[in-house]
Amino acid sequence: MTEYNPKLATWFRNEPNSEAGINNIQVPGQAQNIVWQTRHREPSRYEEALVEHLEAVFATGVVELDDLVAALNARGSRTEAAALWSTDSFQAEMARLGY
């Protein structure tokens, strides 16, 4: 199974791609089902670890941003630059990652 959509990687630019869709007509019943349609690459180890921490924190019932940030820091989760989380850095990271 492919862990990301390889066609998205070539389309992941700030300007429109003039080739998007060319040679991509899908014949019913013959189209490849890509499980990760919206990924342009595999997640990094940092991203996977962040998801694990977020799932664990949300499982405890935390729903407020300040509490979430405090819980991430308490669990030892850090930013990609190894800094403690703040509400601003968390929101910026979620915007960067597209969540």
Q: How many H helices and E strands in the chain?
A: 4, 0
| Lookup: tokens for 25 | 């007509």
Question: What is the average pLDDT score of the chain?
Answer: 83
* Residue linked to tokens 């013959």: 30
pTM above 0.85, yes or no: no
Contact status, residue 69 vs residue 85, Cβ threshold 8 Å: yes
Residue entry with tokens 């960067």: 96
Question: pLDDT of 39-65, one tens digit each?
Answer: 778 889 999 999 999 999 999 999 999
Residues 6+ apart with CB under 8 A from 83: 89
